[in-house]
A and B are shown apart, each in its own frame.
Chain A
Amino acid sequence: KAGVTQTPRYLIKTRGQQVTLSCSPISGHRSVSWYQQTPGQGLQFLFEYFSETQRNKGNFPGRFSGRQFSNSRSEMNVSTLELGDSALYLCASSWGRGADTQYFGPGTRLTVL
């Protein structure tokens, strides 16, 4: 089976712009979670989508949003980018039967200038 894929792998944006990141889960997985990783804050949970619905949400401002499509692929959007949004964004997929093993993608490295 193919693993979790994320596109693009690297992205450079400027402050005020918006960005959309994409995640394709492992085939059959219905849950997709998003995490932000920075040197200062570590790994932080953004949100989880299951069957096209947001099931869990972390403590991030409304500029961070996401969605999931019927094929379980997910996108994450960040509007009005700030310098502090520079981070590695990781998505993880799982079967979705409650809390279970998550499989992570390689991440998207976002740099905001």
Chain B
Amino acid sequence: SQQGEEDPQALSIQEGENATMNCSYKTSINNLQWYRQNSGRGLVHLILIRSNEREKHSGRLRVTLDTSKKSSSLLITASRAADTASYFCATGVSNTGNQFYFGTGTSLTVIP
């Protein structure tokens, strides 16, 4: 399977703490994206990092990419109850368009 795997599968933290999720994948990629999904609804795009980038920031989010280890991490700082959701990484493998393989997801619960 080309799907990536997120680790941990589930994470429970207190509001205000940081949350770190990891994603490992198997094939060479062009880019990697992180998405959030609330309770089986549509996915919300968080951040895109290209294969020649090592780190990107967006607000309270920090994403790193290590192509030599085929892994990425998503850090959410100062978490809020509203961050409770499932988080997915998606690896982009196509040179010509959008063909993304999603990981298994990390379920994050932020306790108020």
Which of B42, B90, B98 interacts with A100 by CB under 8 Å?
B98
Summed over the interface, the residue pairs from A and B with CB atoms below 8 Å come to a total of 77
Q: Is B14 an interface residue (CB 8 A)?
A: no
Chain A 67-108, CB-CB to B under 8 Å as 1, else 0, gives 000000000000000000000101010101011111111110
Contacting A at CB under 8 A, from B38-97, are 40-45, 48, 88, 90, 92, 94-97
- Listed residue (B30, B95, B97, B105) with the most chain A CB atoms within 10 angstroms of its CB: B97
- Indicate if the CB atoms of A104 and B44 lie closer than 8 Å: yes
Q: B residues within 8 Å of A by Cβ?
A: 3, 30-31, 33, 35, 40-45, 48, 88, 90, 92, 94-105
Q: A residues within 8 Å of B by Cβ?
A: 4, 31, 33, 35, 37, 42-45, 48, 50, 55-56, 58, 88, 90, 92, 94, 96, 98-107
